[in-house]
Structure 1
């Protein structure tokens, strides 16, 4: 009978050499480092905790309110600035003031609740706000008194076709109007890319 047997030549396996002391110390060190990183990341998750505010709203303009001591910029929309004017039928009209009036009507004296975790360049909470069952962010865009600013593009398209609010005439994008009237950095839209960037900056700031 062949010494290789019916299955062919037998394979021989050599025992693995024991790990050196330095290799063990390196493995332990890496495990401790990884555990430390996980603990530090967990400790910083408070920066991403969603804040919730509610109460009687003070309406500042068409996309910002104050609840108690918290200033809130409504996320995903951009309304004309309070002093901004737009054009309709060949004449200027105070679209910024009308945008604020629209938000006042939507709230209708009801308590407002807002939630969010990001903040804008002025330190205001970027919030999704409701008065009762009314989604204020969405409704301002639907009424034509705010444009999509990272969200609510479908609602903006419907308002544009219906020619409601500022879409009944011509206007300068609120962001462009601010850039021309205030010496301030350009505001980023509140979309997915901006959210990722904010999260990344929080981690970089920590390190």
Structure 2
């Protein structure tokens, strides 16, 4: 059997051409689809992470019911006989949608302190109107003490003032920036 040198030369040339000019693999996904998938994965990750944070802190987030009939919702909101009452003269750090982690920590502390103050004492409510969320705005007194003033004096709340500038000032006080 004789070898055909032309055949071997042809195979060798094809091999060299393939090495010199490799065929690029066909791109199967467009960049926009990859970006979309990355954004989706990030959103899912943040959502799951937020859910785990709330689940882990459920004891601090859930409303606290007291023998006085008041349920403490957060540092400046209670519920009495199904009526949500926002303490009118104060603002406390946010728990559910904080602007920084420090604000949430301070919000939990304000909620705990309000729960301690409300524990087992009769509550006097001086209603003043409604807020934009439909909650009753009121001055709240427990055992004769103005709760808002007490929370301000203890550093758990700041005096409430209207306007975006006042709100930003309170956020800076809680977040330190």
Kindly indicate which of the two structures has a greater share of residues assigned to helix.
Answer: 2
User: Max radius of gyration: which structure?
Assistant: 2
